[in-house]
Structure 1
Amino acid sequence: MASIFSKIVSGEIPSFKVAETEEFLAFLDAFPITKGHVLVIPKVEVDYIFDLDESLYIRLLLFARSIVPALEKTVPCKRVGVSVIGLEVPHAHVHLLPLNSMADADFTKKIEITQEELAELAEKIRSNM
């Protein structure tokens, strides 16, 4: 069965895309822990990030890295943190998290944000790419 991320890639489920290539997709987390919380995925469905072949793994991280300058321009933060947990969705993914404190990296807490705010934020990130 296709993961929710594969359904986002295929367009079955809408998302707020911030960047896309033939191989990768970056979109705003629908249930973010910080403003600007971006998920970066390979379009190919592989459950565990460390099961990606080495070349794809490196390209995924480079793609994620390419988003950071636009994210920093859009969301004021001290740093953009990177997290790979991999328990929530069986599809390899990287979290990019605008951080101002360690408390911002708490995955047990979600922020409240409207669909309109997500759409506006995605547009701003794309325009800063």
Structure 2
Amino acid sequence: MSTLFTQIIAGDIPGRFVWADDVAVAFGTIAPITDGHVLVVPRDEIVQLTDAPDDVLAHLVLVAKTIGQAQQQAWSAPRAALLVAGFEVDHLHLHVLPAWGEASLSFSNARHDVPAAELDAAAERVRDALTARGHGAHVPAALNSPAL
């Protein structure tokens, strides 16, 4: 059975995509800790961090860095944070979010009641910042599509 993330990547479940390439996609989470919180996910189903081939893991981290730079620009955040837990879905994913302090980097701060329009706006803000930073080739043409 395919994972929730595989279904999102396949377009079977809606997603708010900000990045797509041959190895990875990134989309907004439905329970953000901060505005602009996205998940960087390999297209292949890899259960956890320690199962990832080195080249895939390196690619995911580089994508996370690029997205983090865009988040810092878009929200004037002093840092971009990277969290890897993996207990929610058995498909490797990196949480990347603009951050203002370590105290706020807890999944207990995730907001589950954010209106869809706000989630869309935050994803568009990341997409715009990525494009402005010269990464438009990896920003999908449509917010709800993992294809370029």
How would you bin the TM-score normalised by the shorter chain? Answer: over 0.9
**d(CA) in 2 for partners of 1:13, 1:118:** 16
| Cα pair 1:17 1:26 within 8 Å, conserved | yes
CA distance in 1, matches of 2:97, 2:129: 17
Say which SS state the counterpart of residue 118 (structure 1) adopts.
helix
Q: Per the alignment, in what secondary structure is the counterpart of residue 108 of structure 1?
A: helix
Greater Cα offset, 97-106 or 86-95: 97-106
More helix by share: 2
Per the alignment, residue 56 of structure 2 pairs with 56
2: CA distance, partners of 1:122 / 1:36: 6
Q: CA deviation at 1:76?
A: 2.9
Q: Aligned partners of 2:18 and 2:39: how far apart in 1?
A: 10
Q: Is the 8 A contact 2:47 2:91 kept in 1?
A: yes
Q: Which runs of 4+ in 1 moved over 6 A?
A: none
Map of 2:116 onto structure 1: 115
- Distance (Å, rounded) in 2 between the aligned partners of 1:109 and 1:124: 21
* Map of 2:35 onto structure 1: 35
Supply the distance in 2 between the matched residues of 1:7 and 1:64 (Cα, whole angstroms).
21
In the alignment, does 2:128 pair up with 1:106?
no
Residues paired across the two proteins, number: 129
Flag structure 2 segments of 5+ consecutive residues without an equivalent.
Answer: 131-148
Q: Which runs of 5+ in 1 are unaligned?
A: none
Identity %, equivalent residues:
33
Give the corresponding residue for 1:126: 127
The aligned residue for residue 46 of structure 1 is 46
2:82/2:94 contact within 8 Å kept: yes
User: Cα RMSD over matched residues?
Assistant: 1.2
Aligned-partner Cα distance in 1 for 2:36–2:104: 11
Conserved 8 A contact 1:97-1:105: no
| TM-score normalised over the length of structure 2 | 0.82
